[in-house]
Structure 1
Amino acid sequence: MTDPICFYYGNGKLTELAGYPRVVLQPEFYKPEEIAFLKERGVQTLGYLTLSEDQGPPAVWQRAEKNPDWGGSFVHVGHPEWVAHVVGQARDAMAAGFDGLFLDTLNVELTYPEDVPHLLTLVAAIRAEAKPAYMLANRGFGMLPRLAELVDGVVFESFSARWTDDGYAPWPADVLEFHAQIAEQLLQLQLDLYALDYADTPGLTDFAVRRAHQFGMQCVVSDRALSRV
């Protein structure tokens, strides 16, 4: 059975991607005619956007601190030039033919909680730019329930399983319980719900899929680099 969605951060593989109902892609890796190829085959394409981290060259909106896992610079989310930059990326993705957007790096309540209001304002600006396009948020729990009014779905990344320095593993029991509490909140909202978990064995994959289904989420399991199709 085909997964309900594919998160693929590589390029190409159009034939394989055409087998999914919905795909999340990096816009810079795909030409408009490639997006059109997928749309003609009934695939809903979502363009990736990062809202609180920047992988680009030094810029006025960047903070000195970087994400230790991926190396991108944290940003001042409310900086006017950052807002214009991200909204411009959203506009470009829609102009290239994407059906919607996938909003990533929304967990600012864990790093710079003072930026939560600015992030909500940025999501609202993207919503206004892209409406009525489909919008899918990755986590963003610090913005609930307001976030639910601005997006169509939420992805609970690493709901049950995670990548570590030594491979892949389930979360400890206390984290699983905390995640379950958040999942219960999500079930009260009128949103499409997905779990995106990381695993490399059948046992861990089965654990993640079964647990996601218990909380009303469709589950996708991939690797750390999201390179599986």
Structure 2
Amino acid sequence: MTETEKAPICFYYGNGHLMELAEYPRVVLQPDFYTEGELKYLSDQGVQTLGYLTLSEDTGPPAPWQRTEKNPDWGGTFVHVGHPGWVEHVVGQAKAAMAAGFHGLFLDTLNVELTFPEDVPHLLTLVAAIRTEAKPAYMLANRGFGMLPRLAELVDGVVFESFSARWTDEGYAPWPPDVLEFHAQIAEQLLRLQLDLIALDYADTPGLTEFAIRRAHQFGMQCVVSDRALSRV
């Protein structure tokens, strides 16, 4: 696949653009941005829609499950993942997305091993609860490498966000060689788990885009290249 070919999935965090989204076999969308009628339109076009769901950060008002720390990049508040109120809140969001017409869910903010490693077992329990209680047809996880290999038993696919390229304060760039090698080691582990594998990279030039696509294919991954805000369709 070259950078001009249509990707197998679209990660889009804006609203509208139904006709463009209908060209993809699978799309990840923000549940609050689409009506049941719009989701039905996409479904009728043969598009599998996945609702975005954050599992370890909260962007809502103050709540008892919130920690004092915030995500420095996006501003969300970190949570105590095992708090019963948070579990009920997230499972409720998942059920609402499925009831609205989504075909599955995209699980984000799974890298708690980097921030609060004590929450890894709680996060696995939460993912299992979503699978059981919301009964999504398809679950796609963003990273979550600290939960492997157990995570592979609960989801259908894994997205390796920022596998080869990233965004920085100075713009978009490839990772340095040591990080690329570390990511390659993780990718080799993923290849043994019988999951759908997708690399989601960030680039703004043809050269960086082609680099990301080529490297993803070397490790058996489909590749999507977008911008930092995931605003491209």
Percent identity reads: 86
User: TM-score of the superposition, structure 2-length normalised?
Assistant: 0.98
Aligned to 1:170: 174
1:123 is the counterpart of 2:127: yes
Aligned to 1:109: 113
Instruction: Report if the CA contact (8 A) 2:91-2:134 is conserved.
Output: no
Cα distance, 1:2 vs structure 2:
1.6
Aligned to 1:78: 82
Instruction: Report if the CA contact (8 A) 2:105-2:136 is conserved.
Output: no
Aligned to 1:33: 37
Q: Tell me the SS of whatever aligns to 1:136.
A: strand
Deviations 1:177-220 (A, max 9, x none): 00000000000011000000000000000000000000000000
Instruction: Report if the CA contact (8 A) 2:28-2:52 is conserved.
Output: yes
Deviations 1:69-106 (A, max 9, x none): 00000000000000000000000000000000000000
Instruction: Report if the CA contact (8 A) 1:67-1:73 is conserved.
Output: yes
Number of matched pairs? 229
Instruction: Report if the CA contact (8 A) 1:100-1:130 is conserved.
Output: no
Write the mapping of 1:1-229 to structure 2, written as runs, cut at 5 A: 1-131=5-135, 133-229=137-233
Instruction: Report if the CA contact (8 A) 2:55-2:108 is conserved.
Output: yes
Q: Unaligned regions of 5+ residues in structure 1, if any?
A: none
Deviations 1:37-76 (A, max 9, x none): 0000000000000000011111111000000000000000
User: TM-score of the superposition, structure 1-length normalised?
Assistant: 0.99
Q: Unaligned regions of 5+ residues in structure 2, if any?
A: none
Report the Cα distance in structure 1 between the residues aligned to 2:136 and 2:16, rounded to whole angstroms: 27
| RMSD of aligned residue pairs (Cα, Å) | 0.6
Report the Cα distance in structure 2 between the residues aligned to 1:166 and 1:72, rounded to whole angstroms: 23
Cα distance, 1:132 vs structure 2:
5.0
Deviations 1:115-151 (A, max 9, x none): 0000000000000023351000000000000000000
The AA in structure 1 aligned to 2:219 is: F
